[in-house]
């Protein structure tokens, strides 16, 4: 279980920030405040988004809430050619966000590092004692990399949605659940593309419970799979719809229909956890041109 510094349980829906644009700063900050006022107290920030300008939007939002009431997770991202760049990124986050601690620092992916993953692990443990951050997180690890860090990990962010179940297949989600390591899914709605496929099973569950398809998906992941979901949503009607997805229960049999769902087209994609030639990197799998886009 994760907590904010003020002791509040961290919401199972987290705020994603990919495609948030500084040019719309006032509207984006209003959306973040609306999200927060709906009880969502976790935000994910990646320096690479909007060429770093996303930090200005998040900084303005953070000034409008009590810092200790929000769980702030910053990501070590592209641009780490050498080990010293990790600390440099931490300094950029501290300065640009105007904060004096992080709730979590997460490695976006070993693919963003220009040096050995083992070196990163050593470095983040050193920085953990130097800087005030409370949790060490990882994302997009292979099972072998996961094995190397599972003794000190306290957060994992991974690909998960109805069609992309690699982190189920490789056992990482099960391990996290059994060991109380919060697992948060990115692209849980596959940027609304899952709903656009109008899969019979999802459409009939939406009809049965009088909910939208996205509400069925969020409800299944949080209430049944016991994982968190990171959802980027700027439109208030989306935010409301997503938060209201937690106000109902489905039957065990219906949840199992979603557990057992597979899309063979996605399952056939040759993938890698890093940059292996001829394979699609794990974080790019949900963006492959399959079905209705
Ligand atoms: N660690 C990694 O490798 C990694 C990779 C990808 C993403 N992430 C993180 O995970 C977050 C979430 O992933 P994502 O943003 O790629 O995908 P997502 O959250 O599945 O989808 C976001 C998109 O779906 C729309 N949306 C949200 N709720 C909706 C609803 N109820 N009905 C219809 N459309 C809805 C949003 O529209 P509006 O904005 O118009 O409301 C937005 O365009 C990212 O923002 C990022 O922070 C991490």
CA distance 76 to 137: 10
Sign for the pseudo-dihedral over CA of 25, 31, 33, 39: negative
Q: What CATH number does domain 13-287 carry, 3.40.50.300, 3.30.1450.10, 1.10.10.10, 3.20.20.100?
A: 3.20.20.100
Give residue ranges with CB within 6 A of ligand 1: 16-18, 44, 108-109, 139-140, 157, 186-192, 214, 230-235, 238, 241-242, 283
pLDDT string in tens for the chain (293-residue length): 899 999 999 999 999 999 999 999 999 999 999 999 999 999 999 999 989 999 999 999 999 999 999 999 999 999 999 999 999 999 999 999 999 999 999 999 999 999 999 999 999 999 999 997 899 999 999 999 999 999 999 999 999 999 999 999 999 999 999 999 999 999 999 999 999 999 999 999 999 999 999 999 999 999 999 999 999 999 999 999 999 999 999 999 999 999 999 999 999 999 999 989 999 999 999 999 998 87
Q: What are the tokens at 27?
A: 């509207």
Atom of ligand 1 nearest to the CA of 282: 3
Give the global pTM.
0.97
Burial class (CB within 10 angstroms; exposed 0-12, middle 13-18, buried 19+) of 251: exposed
Return the beta strands (E) in 77-175 as ranges. Answer: 102-107, 133-139, 155-159
Return the sign of the alpha-carbon dihedral for residues 53, 57, 63, 69: negative
* H/E stretch holding 42: strand 42-46
Domain limits, the chain:
13-287
The residue to mutate among 158, 162, 192, 212, having the most atoms of ligand 1 within 8 angstroms of its beta carbon, is: 192
């Amino acid at each position: 279980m994760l907590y904010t510094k003020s002791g509040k349980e961290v919401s199972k829906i987290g705020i994603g920030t990919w495609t948030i644009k500084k040019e719309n700063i006032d509207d984006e900050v209003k959306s973040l405040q609306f999200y927060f006022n709906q009880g969502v107290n976790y935000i994910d920030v990646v320096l690479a988004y909007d060429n770093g300008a996303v930090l200005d939007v998040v900084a303005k939002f953070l000034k409008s809430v009590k810092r200790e009431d929000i769980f702030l997770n910053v990501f070590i991202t592209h641009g780490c050619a050498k080990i010293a760049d990790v600390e440099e990124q931490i300094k950029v986050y501290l300065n640009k966000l105007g904060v004096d601690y992080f709730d979590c620092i997460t490695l976006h992916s070993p693919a963003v590092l220009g040096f050995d993953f083992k070196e990163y692990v050593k470095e983040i443990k050193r920085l953990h004692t130097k800087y005030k951050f409370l949790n060490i997180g990882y994302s997009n690890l292979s099972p072998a990399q996961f094995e190397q860090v599972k003794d000190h990990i306290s957060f994992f962010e991974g690909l998960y949605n109805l069609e992309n179940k690699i982190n189920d297949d490789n056992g990482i989600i099960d391990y996290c659940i059994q060991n109380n390591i919060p697992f948060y899914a990115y692209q849980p709605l596959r940027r609304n593309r899952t709903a656009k496929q109008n899969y019979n099973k999802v459409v009939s569950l939406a009809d049965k419970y009088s909910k939208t398809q996205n509400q069925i998906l969020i409800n299944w992941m949080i209430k049944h799979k016991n994982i968190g979901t990171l959802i980027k949503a700027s439109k208030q009607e989306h935010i409301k719809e997503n938060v209201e997805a937690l106000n109902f229960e489905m039957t065990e049999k219906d949840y199992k229909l979603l557990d057992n769902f597979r899309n063979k087209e996605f399952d056939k994609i040759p993938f890698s956890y890093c940059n292996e030639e001829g394979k699609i990197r794990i974080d790019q799998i949900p963006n492959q041109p399959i079905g209705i886009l």
